[in-house]
Amino acid sequence: MQNQAICAGSFDPPTIGHLNIIGRGLKIFDKLIVAVAINTSKDPIFTPQERVEMLEEIFKDQENVEIDAFEGLLVNYAKKRGTNTILRGLRNLGDYEYESQMALVNKTLDSDIEILYMMTEGKYAHLSSSIIKEVITFGGSGCGMIHPMVAGRLKEKLLKESK
Ligand code: ADP
C-alpha cells in the first residue's frame, strides 16, 4: 500500500501557507490527498467545486497530489479512502487549541486514526484564508500570500460582490 496521508481543510481559498505544508508533506509521504471540506460552518466564499478547481490547477503537474472533496466526518472519509493518516498545519496557540480538541474528538471517533502536525515555516505563520480575503477586499494584491491564479479568482469574487 502507498504511504499516503490526507491533508484536509476548508481551503477557502488555499494560501501559500497551505501549499507549503502540502509541499513539505510530499517529502514524507508518497502521495497526499488534499481534501476540501464541504460542510464547514465557516460560510465559505468559494463553492467546494471552485476550491477543488483552484487546487487542481495549482497541483496540475504533481502526480502524487490528488484533489478531492468530502462531506461529513473526516474519520469516515479517511476510512473510505483507505488511509488512517491525516496531515495538518500548525501556526500558533490558537491552532493548537483548536487542533488538539479536534484530534481528541477524531481519536475518540476512530482510535485507528493518526493526525500528524507540521509546524508552519515562520514566514507563513501570519497567513490565513480569512486575512487574505480582507487584504483583497481592501485593495491589496495578495502577492506572496496566495497563488496569482487564486488572487485573480478572489478579486473577481470579492470585488464583483461588493459592486
Ligand atoms: P480548517 O477549516 O479545517 O481549519 P483551513 O483551510 O483553515 O481548514 O486549514 C487547513 C489546515 O491548514 C489546518 O491544519 C491549518 O492549521 C493549516 N494552515 C492554514 N494556514 C496555514 C499556514 N499559513 N501555515 C501552516 N498551516 C496552515
C-alpha cell at 24: 513539505
- In eight-state DSSP terms, residue 125 is T
Per DSSP, what are the bridge partners of residue 116? 87
Minimal-distance CA residue to ligand 1 atom 24: 17
Distance 80 CA to ligand 1 centre (A): 23
42, 60, 80, 126: the active-site residue: 42
- Any catalytic annotation for residue 42? yes
- Regarding pTM above 0.85, the answer is yes
- Any catalytic annotation for residue 18? yes
Distances (CA, A) of 128 to 96, 119, 134: 15, 14, 10
Through-space distance between the first and last CA atoms of the chain, rounded to whole angstroms:
51
Average pLDDT over residues 146-155: 96
- Any catalytic annotation for residue 147? no
With 80 as the cut, is the pLDDT of residue 28 above it? yes
Distance 89 CA to ligand 1 centre (A): 6
Q: Is the CB of 120 under 6 A from ligand 1?
A: yes
User: C-alpha dihedral over 13, 129, 12, 143, to 10 degrees?
Assistant: -10
Question: Residue 6's closest CA among 53, 57, 68?
Answer: 68
90-140: pLDDT as tens digits: 999 999 999 999 999 999 999 999 999 999 999 999 999 999 999 999 999
Q: Give all domains of the chain, ordered by start, each with its CATH number.
A: 4-126 (3.40.50.620)
| Probe residue for ligand 1, chosen from 10, 15, 20, 21 as the CB with the greatest number of ligand atoms within 8 Å | 21
Atom of ligand 1 nearest to the CA of 88: 14
Lowest mean pLDDT among 16-30, 35-49, 53-67, 91-105: 35-49
51, 88, 128, 129: the active-site residue: 129
10, 51, 88, 91: the active-site residue: 91
Distance 131 CA to ligand 1 centre (A): 12
Report the pLDDT value the prediction gives residue 160, as an integer from 0 to 100.
Answer: 76
